[in-house]
Amino acid sequence: MKKQSEKSVFETLSAINVNDKVEKKNGLTYLSWAWAWAEVKKNYPSATYRVVKDEASNMPFVYDSDMGYMCSTEVTIKDQTLEMWLPVMDGANKAMKSEAYEYTTRYGKKSVQGATMFDVNKTIMRCLVKNLAMFGLGHYIYAGDDIPQDDKSVAEKLAPTPKEAPKKVAPKKVAPKKVAPKKEATTITLDIGDENWDKVLKYVSANKELGLKKIGENLVTKYDMTATVKKEIAKSI
Protein backbone atom coordinates (compact mmCIF):
# COMPACT_ATOMS: atom_id res chain seq x y z
CA MET A 1 0.00 0.00 0.00
CA LYS A 2 1.41 3.36 -1.09
CA LYS A 3 2.12 5.87 1.61
CA GLN A 4 0.11 9.08 1.14
CA SER A 5 2.39 12.00 0.20
CA GLU A 6 2.83 14.74 2.77
CA LYS A 7 1.03 18.02 2.07
CA SER A 8 3.15 21.03 1.24
CA VAL A 9 3.26 24.05 3.56
CA PHE A 10 1.12 26.03 1.12
CA GLU A 11 -1.48 23.27 0.82
CA THR A 12 -1.75 22.99 4.59
CA LEU A 13 -2.01 26.69 5.41
CA SER A 14 -4.19 27.67 2.45
CA ALA A 15 -6.79 25.10 3.57
CA ILE A 16 -7.36 27.02 6.83
CA ASN A 17 -10.53 29.17 6.78
CA VAL A 18 -9.74 32.64 8.13
CA ASN A 19 -13.10 34.30 7.36
CA ASP A 20 -14.20 34.65 10.98
CA LYS A 21 -10.83 36.13 12.00
CA VAL A 22 -10.76 39.11 9.65
CA GLU A 23 -12.06 42.66 9.91
CA LYS A 24 -12.60 45.30 7.28
CA LYS A 25 -11.34 48.86 7.50
CA ASN A 26 -11.26 51.56 4.79
CA GLY A 27 -12.04 49.02 2.10
CA LEU A 28 -9.20 46.64 3.12
CA THR A 29 -9.39 43.27 4.88
CA TYR A 30 -7.17 42.70 7.91
CA LEU A 31 -6.27 39.41 9.58
CA SER A 32 -5.20 39.33 13.25
CA TRP A 33 -1.43 38.88 13.36
CA ALA A 34 -1.59 37.10 16.73
CA TRP A 35 -4.09 34.53 15.47
CA ALA A 36 -2.22 34.07 12.18
CA TRP A 37 1.12 33.45 13.87
CA ALA A 38 -0.50 31.06 16.35
CA GLU A 39 -1.96 28.98 13.47
CA VAL A 40 1.42 28.79 11.78
CA LYS A 41 3.14 27.70 14.99
CA LYS A 42 0.46 25.04 15.61
CA ASN A 43 1.23 23.45 12.28
CA TYR A 44 4.96 24.26 12.15
CA PRO A 45 6.45 24.75 15.63
CA SER A 46 9.89 25.48 14.23
CA ALA A 47 8.65 28.42 12.11
CA THR A 48 10.42 31.75 12.73
CA TYR A 49 10.18 35.33 11.56
CA ARG A 50 12.37 38.39 11.77
CA VAL A 51 12.00 42.11 11.15
CA VAL A 52 14.43 43.30 8.50
CA LYS A 53 16.39 46.35 9.72
CA ASP A 54 18.09 49.07 7.75
CA GLU A 55 21.82 48.31 7.68
CA ALA A 56 22.83 51.96 8.03
CA SER A 57 20.49 53.07 10.82
CA ASN A 58 19.61 49.69 12.40
CA MET A 59 15.98 50.89 12.43
CA PRO A 60 13.10 48.50 11.58
CA PHE A 61 12.39 50.40 8.38
CA VAL A 62 14.01 52.15 5.46
CA TYR A 63 13.07 55.76 4.78
CA ASP A 64 13.08 57.98 1.72
CA SER A 65 12.10 61.64 2.10
CA ASP A 66 10.13 61.56 -1.15
CA MET A 67 8.52 58.12 -0.89
CA GLY A 68 8.13 57.55 2.86
CA TYR A 69 8.73 54.54 5.14
CA MET A 70 8.98 50.87 4.15
CA CYS A 71 8.95 47.93 6.58
CA SER A 72 10.07 44.37 5.76
CA THR A 73 9.81 40.94 7.37
CA GLU A 74 11.16 37.46 6.67
CA VAL A 75 9.39 34.21 7.57
CA THR A 76 11.06 30.80 7.56
CA ILE A 77 9.03 27.58 7.53
CA LYS A 78 10.63 24.20 6.93
CA ASP A 79 13.85 25.72 5.60
CA GLN A 80 12.01 27.97 3.15
CA THR A 81 12.42 31.73 3.71
CA LEU A 82 10.19 34.31 2.07
CA GLU A 83 10.37 38.08 2.40
CA MET A 84 7.56 40.66 2.37
CA TRP A 85 7.43 44.47 2.59
CA LEU A 86 4.77 47.05 3.32
CA PRO A 87 4.79 50.87 3.33
CA VAL A 88 3.70 52.80 6.42
CA MET A 89 0.28 54.24 5.51
CA ASP A 90 -2.42 56.31 7.16
CA GLY A 91 -6.11 55.47 7.44
CA ALA A 92 -6.66 56.54 3.82
CA ASN A 93 -3.83 54.25 2.65
CA LYS A 94 -1.57 57.18 1.81
CA ALA A 95 2.19 56.86 2.39
CA MET A 96 3.30 58.53 5.62
CA LYS A 97 6.51 60.51 5.90
CA SER A 98 8.51 61.99 8.78
CA GLU A 99 6.47 65.18 8.62
CA ALA A 100 2.88 65.97 7.71
CA TYR A 101 2.17 66.93 4.10
CA GLU A 102 -0.76 67.84 1.87
CA TYR A 103 -1.89 66.48 -1.47
CA THR A 104 -4.58 67.54 -3.89
CA THR A 105 -7.48 65.42 -5.09
CA ARG A 106 -10.46 66.18 -7.28
CA TYR A 107 -12.33 66.89 -4.05
CA GLY A 108 -9.83 69.41 -2.72
CA LYS A 109 -6.76 69.33 -0.50
CA LYS A 110 -6.15 66.53 2.01
CA SER A 111 -3.40 66.02 4.58
CA VAL A 112 -1.31 63.10 5.85
CA GLN A 113 0.08 63.21 9.37
CA GLY A 114 3.74 62.49 10.11
CA ALA A 115 4.50 58.85 11.01
CA THR A 116 5.21 57.72 14.58
CA MET A 117 6.72 54.50 15.92
CA PHE A 118 3.18 53.35 16.64
CA ASP A 119 2.46 53.52 12.90
CA VAL A 120 5.70 51.67 12.17
CA ASN A 121 4.85 48.91 14.67
CA LYS A 122 1.37 48.39 13.17
CA THR A 123 2.89 48.18 9.70
CA ILE A 124 5.44 45.58 10.78
CA MET A 125 2.75 43.27 12.15
CA ARG A 126 0.56 43.76 9.09
CA CYS A 127 3.60 42.97 6.96
CA LEU A 128 4.09 39.75 8.93
CA VAL A 129 0.52 38.65 8.16
CA LYS A 130 1.07 39.41 4.48
CA ASN A 131 4.32 37.47 4.67
CA LEU A 132 2.44 34.45 6.06
CA ALA A 133 -0.04 34.72 3.17
CA MET A 134 2.89 33.93 0.85
CA PHE A 135 2.95 30.53 2.57
CA GLY A 136 -0.81 30.12 2.00
CA LEU A 137 -2.45 31.36 5.21
CA GLY A 138 -5.34 33.66 4.22
CA HIS A 139 -3.77 34.33 0.84
CA TYR A 140 -7.20 34.69 -0.78
CA ILE A 141 -8.03 37.84 1.22
CA TYR A 142 -5.33 39.66 -0.73
CA ALA A 143 -6.96 38.99 -4.10
CA GLY A 144 -6.98 42.31 -5.95
CA ASP A 145 -4.39 43.80 -3.59
CA ASP A 146 -2.27 44.82 -6.58
CA ILE A 147 -5.12 46.70 -8.30
CA PRO A 148 -4.40 50.44 -8.28
CA GLN A 149 -6.76 52.31 -5.98
CA ASP A 150 -7.93 55.91 -6.22
CA ASP A 151 -10.01 58.10 -3.97
CA LYS A 152 -13.10 56.40 -5.40
CA SER A 153 -13.80 52.67 -5.38
CA VAL A 154 -13.36 50.60 -8.52
CA ALA A 155 -17.11 50.03 -8.61
CA GLU A 156 -17.72 53.77 -8.69
CA LYS A 157 -15.22 54.18 -11.52
CA LEU A 158 -16.78 51.44 -13.65
CA ALA A 159 -20.34 52.50 -13.02
CA PRO A 160 -21.79 54.20 -16.10
CA THR A 161 -22.33 57.89 -15.73
CA PRO A 162 -26.08 58.45 -15.57
CA LYS A 163 -27.39 60.49 -18.46
CA GLU A 164 -28.80 63.76 -17.46
CA ALA A 165 -32.50 64.07 -18.05
CA PRO A 166 -33.29 66.65 -20.70
CA LYS A 167 -34.08 69.95 -19.14
CA LYS A 168 -37.71 70.87 -19.35
CA VAL A 169 -38.14 74.16 -21.08
CA ALA A 170 -41.00 76.06 -19.60
CA PRO A 171 -43.37 77.32 -22.28
CA LYS A 172 -43.25 81.02 -22.80
CA LYS A 173 -46.05 82.75 -21.10
CA VAL A 174 -48.07 84.67 -23.60
CA ALA A 175 -49.83 87.59 -22.08
CA PRO A 176 -53.51 87.46 -22.91
CA LYS A 177 -54.59 90.13 -25.30
CA LYS A 178 -56.37 92.86 -23.61
CA VAL A 179 -59.82 93.17 -25.05
CA ALA A 180 -61.25 96.57 -24.68
CA PRO A 181 -64.58 96.34 -22.93
CA LYS A 182 -67.48 97.03 -25.17
CA LYS A 183 -68.98 100.33 -24.54
CA GLU A 184 -72.56 100.07 -23.65
CA ALA A 185 -74.74 101.84 -26.15
CA THR A 186 -76.20 104.91 -24.61
CA THR A 187 -79.24 106.54 -26.13
CA ILE A 188 -80.87 109.82 -25.37
CA THR A 189 -84.58 109.96 -24.71
CA LEU A 190 -86.10 112.21 -27.30
CA ASP A 191 -89.22 114.16 -26.43
CA ILE A 192 -91.18 116.61 -28.54
CA GLY A 193 -89.98 120.12 -27.83
CA ASP A 194 -86.88 119.22 -25.76
CA GLU A 195 -83.37 120.54 -26.41
CA ASN A 196 -82.64 117.85 -29.03
CA TRP A 197 -85.96 118.12 -30.86
CA ASP A 198 -84.90 120.96 -33.14
CA LYS A 199 -81.66 119.12 -34.04
CA VAL A 200 -83.63 116.05 -35.06
CA LEU A 201 -86.07 118.03 -37.18
CA LYS A 202 -83.20 119.78 -38.97
CA TYR A 203 -81.56 116.35 -39.64
CA VAL A 204 -84.80 114.93 -40.99
CA SER A 205 -85.38 117.99 -43.21
CA ALA A 206 -81.86 117.78 -44.63
CA ASN A 207 -82.05 114.04 -45.35
CA LYS A 208 -85.59 113.50 -46.65
CA GLU A 209 -84.20 111.74 -49.70
CA LEU A 210 -83.12 108.82 -47.43
CA GLY A 211 -86.69 107.98 -46.75
CA LEU A 212 -88.54 107.45 -43.50
CA LYS A 213 -87.19 103.95 -42.86
CA LYS A 214 -83.51 104.85 -43.20
CA ILE A 215 -83.91 108.07 -41.22
CA GLY A 216 -85.65 106.08 -38.46
CA GLU A 217 -82.80 103.51 -38.35
CA ASN A 218 -80.22 106.27 -38.05
CA LEU A 219 -82.07 108.10 -35.31
CA VAL A 220 -82.64 105.03 -33.09
CA THR A 221 -78.88 104.57 -32.76
CA LYS A 222 -78.77 107.78 -30.78
CA TYR A 223 -82.29 108.45 -29.52
CA ASP A 224 -84.85 106.53 -27.58
CA MET A 225 -88.16 107.48 -29.11
CA THR A 226 -91.75 106.75 -28.21
CA ALA A 227 -94.41 105.95 -30.80
CA THR A 228 -95.78 109.48 -30.52
CA VAL A 229 -92.34 111.01 -31.28
CA LYS A 230 -91.89 108.72 -34.27
CA LYS A 231 -95.27 109.80 -35.67
CA GLU A 232 -94.31 113.47 -35.38
CA ILE A 233 -91.02 112.84 -37.19
CA ALA A 234 -92.88 110.99 -39.95
CA LYS A 235 -95.16 114.01 -40.41
CA SER A 236 -92.14 116.26 -41.06
CA ILE A 237 -90.86 114.17 -43.97
- Residue 167 counted as domain residue: no
**Per-residue pLDDT at 190:** 74
Domain boundary among 96, 122, 147: 147
pTM: predicted TM-score of the whole model, two decimal places: 0.58
| Segments of the chain assigned E as strands | 22-25, 28-31, 48-52, 62-64, 68-77, 80-87, 101-105, 108-112, 188-190, 223-225
17 and 96 inside one domain: yes
Domain boundary among 147, 177, 208: 147
In the predicted model, is pLDDT for residue 230 greater than 90? no
- Residue 219 counted as domain residue: yes
96 and 205 inside one domain: no
16 and 109 inside one domain: yes
Ranges 14-18, 77-81, 223-227: which has the least confidence? 223-227
- Residue 181 counted as domain residue: no
**Per-residue pLDDT at 5:** 73
225 and 120 inside one domain: no
Domain count, the chain: 2
Mean pLDDT, all residues of the chain: 82
CATH of the domain at 132: 3.30.390
**Per-residue pLDDT at 156:** 43
In the predicted model, is pLDDT for residue 126 greater than 80? yes
70 and 126 inside one domain: yes
207 and 119 inside one domain: no
24 and 82 inside one domain: yes
- Residue 172 counted as domain residue: no
Range of the domain at 44: 9-147
Which tens digits make up the pLDDT trace of 209-227? 777 788 778 777 887 888 8
Which tens digits make up the pLDDT trace of 97-117? 999 999 998 989 999 999 999
- Residue 139 counted as domain residue: yes
Domain boundary among 116, 147, 178: 147
Report the SS3 class of residue 185: coil
- Residue 161 counted as domain residue: no
114 and 58 inside one domain: yes
